[in-house]
Structure 1
Amino acid sequence: TCVTGFNNIRFDDEFIRYGFYRNLIDPYGREWRDGNSRWDLIDLVRASGALRPDGLEWPLRDGTPVFSLEQMARANNLQHENAHDALADVEATVALARVIKSCQPELYTYALSLRQKTTLGTLLLPVGERICVHVSGIYPNSGYCLTPIVSVARHPIIDNRVIAVDLAGDIDFICESSVQEIRNAVFMPAAQRGRAVTRPPLVTVAFNQCPFVAPISVVRKADADRLHIDLERIQRAQETLANCPDLAERVASVYAEGEHDPPNDPEYALYDGFINDADRRTSERLQDALRNGNAWMNEEFMDPRLATLSQRLKARVRPEEMDADERRAHVEFVRQRLADGDNGLDAFLRELQIWQRKDSLEARDREVVEALIGHAEKLRTQFVTNASIE
């Protein structure tokens, strides 16, 4: 089975992974076990618009391509009566995939092959050898989200990633700046960078996220003209990088400290490391017991993340089996969450009250908002006003 959607790898799949992880279910097994795989249509749509646009209509907003499922379906007369309704989105995604497969079968088949890490490895490894095109939402829609790249280093922390240079960007900055200067520029928050400062042309390509990468030879002259790609300039940029001293080592050093600070709560720490086999078996025993209606099993986990998550899972599914210490710890945890200034209960209620005051709110939506307000007030009573830990 191949699971696919429209922007599912960067959005839906993350919800599923974290949902499984927080409930002590293998977060990755569904993606590979029994020959399963995953794919994402959105980059194929972008690549089709950039490289093989014949056969589809490409919606524009102020002269810039738009790749939303809703707009693509409308422009190509595909049934999509209720955008963002789950079933309607699935039907529109399938219909759009069928159109691309019919109009551009070779492109479709090639994109499907990118589920295999070996396909990507032949393009991006060894580093520096091949100019490719990379399609991703990190690049401007005005260029159909496509840019020429060359890989320059293996990621120093994550095995299935490489670091590449956008050959249309400021190559001199990469060659002439120190590791710290590049790192500061790469990881500077967008809000601090401002419009006047351009992010350095470095990008990570993850082999396990089905990125659309293809040889530069797929760009025909007409495509290059339409996409404003100067192929001679791109070739010169690759040559400049090839002569840049210690490029691979310096670029790898930029990413050696990690791209983000580690999360301080296990619920957000899925990517802090793989779960070991012993803990995986322990989780499976616990899940089997729950499915069979047996009493909670107080299992020991080697991974401290899972030790915390198991106690929170017990509070959700077997609260009546918690002892006094466990209840006390859970109430304190919930209190702290509800008191969070940015994402706590008060902020949640303020947002709901803004929606409640909108005259344009439909009756069904108003019912939902009022139910959520009631739920929030119930949480306040249960965990803040009259919280009991006995």
Structure 2
Amino acid sequence: MSFVFYDIETTGISTAFDQPLQFAAIHTDTDLNEIERVDLRCRIAPHIIPSPYALMVTGIKPEQLVDTGLPSFFEFTQNVMELTKRWAPATWVGFNSIRFDEELLRQAFYQNLQPSIYATQFNGNNRLDILTAIYAVWCRNQGLLKWPTDVRGRTIYKLDRLAPENGFNTHNAHDALGDVEATLYLAQIISKGDPVLWSSLVENRDKKKVMAKLETFEPVELVLRFGGGPPRSYVGCFCGTSEGNATQAAFFDLETGDPETLINADDAAIFEAVDGSPKIIRSIATNKAPALFSILDPDIEHQRKAALIAASPDFRERVGRAIAARFEDGKTAPLVPIEKQIYGGFYSKEDQELLAEFQQTDWARRHEIIGLLGDLRLRQLGRRLVAFYGRDFLSKSEIEQFESFIHERWYASDVPAPEWTTFSSAARAVDDLRAQPETDQDALDLIEAFLAQMASKRHFSKSRS
């Protein structure tokens, strides 16, 4: 299987409410030799205010956000989706990608009505995260890499410091293609310097193999990092799966806890083991390539505890209910923004067929398709897209509804603070950056002028994809 190393630069740090502005990728063979590279950019979607912080970090200039020579956000997602099909089957790899880049890419597919939002996991594709691999190297083969530190002597695990520290001297940090090159470089060090470790990490791409490893009930090692401290290894064993979510496995910490005290305990004690501190039972997302390793010579006491758990199916079932309760998604909560409804259910076959047509037709037909969709989320997102790129086909009332939506987004109240950038939060960011002596004041002037120009628009010009 080949690999796709990729990175995304964005309008901000919210995976739900910001968007990609740049997508870069290097497609490699199994041995990490480059086959092909791409570097794609796009315009900003009409409803998004870019974070001044993001623009200063990435160096993306305001004029690029509205450059008509670049594809629209809608066209951009079509181009990326085509790559996921053309390169399949492949392992999609990034640096902290499972927690950020992939979530943002999935939102891009969702908000632009792609039939499948899980493209990096379907059609034979799977995923891997080099940040997880870096944590595993720290715990299992620390001498393989050189480790940068901050002024207080604490180890830094960031890409823009790790890659140069280990000899990658051409790193263009905060450019998507530069970050891809740096990520691939680190992966090559790990794969060549410790093939056994790399092989184990690669094997964990497959959730079935992860579950098979867990379901032996043998003690295993799990590498995790929490907060600002260093990564550390935990020795534990399988302890059930979350009720209603087979990809969420329970991991009993055999060093911290003793199952004898919990097997016959009440539900409150089990929930405390799952949710309290120290945490005795953790959850593992088996479909997110965890850093999970077999132990060749497990401790006898650990084996004894694991055997107790293996012989207690009722206990594992109760743990599964406690894990599910901890991750309760609040289905009875007030209606959340459409972006936060992304995991509200899979699309029907009929809707998927309509979405496939939606991607291939013109905006007149797209406007018709929206009314045929059964999923209310897709209807709302579809109306938004037509308002962005095909406003000639909207009625007067639909245009008014769209402009009301834009106004509510741009001028949302600061209490509670919205998860997206508003004009007021952007203004505060400009003031904050202005006060920092290292800030490029000329670049900030351009950003401030761009925001003022956005705010001056009372209505939105017609734009076509």
Normalised-by-shorter TM-score class: 0.7 to 0.9
1:200 Cα offset (Å):
2.7
1:123 Cα offset (Å):
0.7
Any runs of at least 4 consecutive aligned residues in structure 1 with deviations exceeding 6 A, and if so which? none
Give yes or no for the alignment of 1:208 onto 2:251. Answer: no
1:116-168: CA deviation from partner (whole Å, max 9, x where unpaired): 22211211126xx12111123348743x3321221211121222221222333
**Shift in alpha-carbon separation, 1:170–1:98, aligned structure 2, 3 A:** same
1:353 Cα offset (Å):
2.9
Give yes or no for the alignment of 1:92 onto 2:182. Answer: yes
SS in 1 for 2:94: coil
Instruction: Provide the rounded CA distance (Å) in 1 between the counterparts of 2:355 and 2:169.
Output: 43
Instruction: Provide the rounded CA distance (Å) in 2 between the counterparts of 1:60 and 1:174.
Output: 41
1:28-85: CA deviation from partner (whole Å, max 9, x where unpaired): 4532454333221111222122113343223455565432222322332222543222
Q: What is the count of residue pairs matched by the alignment?
A: 358
Match runs of 1:144-183 below 5 Å: 144-171=231-258, 178-180=266-268, 183=271
Task: Report sequence identity in percent.
Answer: 24
Instruction: Provide the rounded CA distance (Å) in 2 between the counterparts of 1:377 and 1:35.
Output: 45
Q: Is the Cα–Cα contact under 8 Å of residues 96 and 131 in structure 2 kept in the other structure? A: yes
Give yes or no for the alignment of 1:101 onto 2:191. Answer: yes
Give yes or no for the alignment of 1:377 onto 2:455. Answer: yes
User: Does 2-11 or 260-269 show the bigger shift?
Assistant: 260-269
Residue in structure 1 matched with residue 322 of structure 2 by the alignment: 254
SS in 2 for 1:154: strand
Residue in structure 2 matched with residue 222 of structure 1 by the alignment: none
Give yes or no for the alignment of 1:31 onto 2:120. Answer: yes
Instruction: Provide the rounded CA distance (Å) in 2 between the counterparts of 1:102 and 1:234.
Output: 33
Amino acid in structure 1 at the alignment position of 2:114? I
TM-score, normalised by the number of residues in structure 2 = 0.68
SS in 2 for 1:210: coil
User: Does 248-257 or 370-379 show the bigger shift?
Assistant: 370-379
Residue in structure 2 matched with residue 297 of structure 1 by the alignment: 368
Residue in structure 1 matched with residue 9 of structure 2 by the alignment: none
Instruction: Provide the rounded CA distance (Å) in 2 between the counterparts of 1:140 and 1:286.
Output: 45
SS in 1 for 2:380: helix
1:16-38: CA deviation from partner (whole Å, max 9, x where unpaired): 00011011013445324543332
Instruction: Provide the rounded CA distance (Å) in 2 between the counterparts of 1:277 and 1:252.
Output: 31
Match runs of 1:1-390 below 5 Å: 1-60=90-149, 62=152, 64-125=154-215, 129-138=217-226, 141-142=229-230, 144-171=231-258, 178-180=266-268, 183=271, 198=277, 200-217=279-296, 231=299, 234-235=302-303, 237-238=305-306, 241=309, 246-257=314-325, 258-262=327-331, 264-290=336-362, 296-299=367-370, 300-337=372-409, 338-341=411-414, 342-343=417-418, 344-378=422-456, 381-382=458-459
User: Does 280-289 or 177-186 show the bigger shift?
Assistant: 177-186
Q: What is the aligned-residue RMSD (CA, Å)?
A: 3.1
Amino acid in structure 2 at the alignment position of 1:213? L
1:239-278: CA deviation from partner (whole Å, max 9, x where unpaired): 5655779421221222334433246122211122222221
Q: Is the Cα–Cα contact under 8 Å of residues 367 and 383 in structure 2 kept in the other structure? A: no
SS in 2 for 1:168: coil
Residue in structure 2 matched with residue 190 of structure 1 by the alignment: none
Instruction: Provide the rounded CA distance (Å) in 2 between the counterparts of 1:309 and 1:239.
Output: 51
User: Does 51-60 or 85-94 show the bigger shift?
Assistant: 51-60
The answer to which structure has the higher helix fraction is 1
**Shift in alpha-carbon separation, 1:339–1:28, aligned structure 2, 3 A:** closer
Amino acid in structure 1 at the alignment position of 2:320? A
Instruction: Provide the rounded CA distance (Å) in 2 between the counterparts of 1:334 and 1:186.
Output: 42
Instruction: Provide the rounded CA distance (Å) in 1 between the counterparts of 2:101 and 2:366.
Output: 33
**Shift in alpha-carbon separation, 1:58–1:218, aligned structure 2, 3 A:** farther
Q: Is the Cα–Cα contact under 8 Å of residues 114 and 211 in structure 1 kept in the other structure? A: yes
Amino acid in structure 1 at the alignment position of 2:438? S
Amino acid in structure 2 at the alignment position of 1:93? T
Instruction: Provide the rounded CA distance (Å) in 2 between the counterparts of 1:268 and 1:375.
Output: 29
Q: Structure 1: any 5+ residue segments left out of the alignment?
A: 188-196, 220-230, 384-390
Instruction: Provide the rounded CA distance (Å) in 1 between the counterparts of 2:278 and 2:373.
Output: 42
1:106 Cα offset (Å):
1.9
Which structure has more relative contact order (CA 8 Å, sep 6+)? It is 2
Q: Is the Cα–Cα contact under 8 Å of residues 79 and 92 in structure 1 kept in the other structure? A: no
Instruction: Provide the rounded CA distance (Å) in 1 between the counterparts of 2:406 and 2:267.
Output: 42
**Shift in alpha-carbon separation, 1:371–1:330, aligned structure 2, 3 A:** same
1:372 Cα offset (Å):
4.5
Instruction: Provide the rounded CA distance (Å) in 2 between the counterparts of 1:123 and 1:311.
Output: 46
User: Does 74-83 or 114-123 show the bigger shift?
Assistant: 74-83
Q: Is the Cα–Cα contact under 8 Å of residues 274 and 323 in structure 2 kept in the other structure? A: no
The answer to which structure has the higher strand fraction is 2
Amino acid in structure 1 at the alignment position of 2:220? C
Amino acid in structure 2 at the alignment position of 1:215? S
SS in 2 for 1:297: helix
1:186 Cα offset (Å):
5.2
TM-score, normalised by the number of residues in structure 1 = 0.80
Q: Is the Cα–Cα contact under 8 Å of residues 152 and 163 in structure 1 kept in the other structure? A: yes
**Shift in alpha-carbon separation, 1:369–1:249, aligned structure 2, 3 A:** same
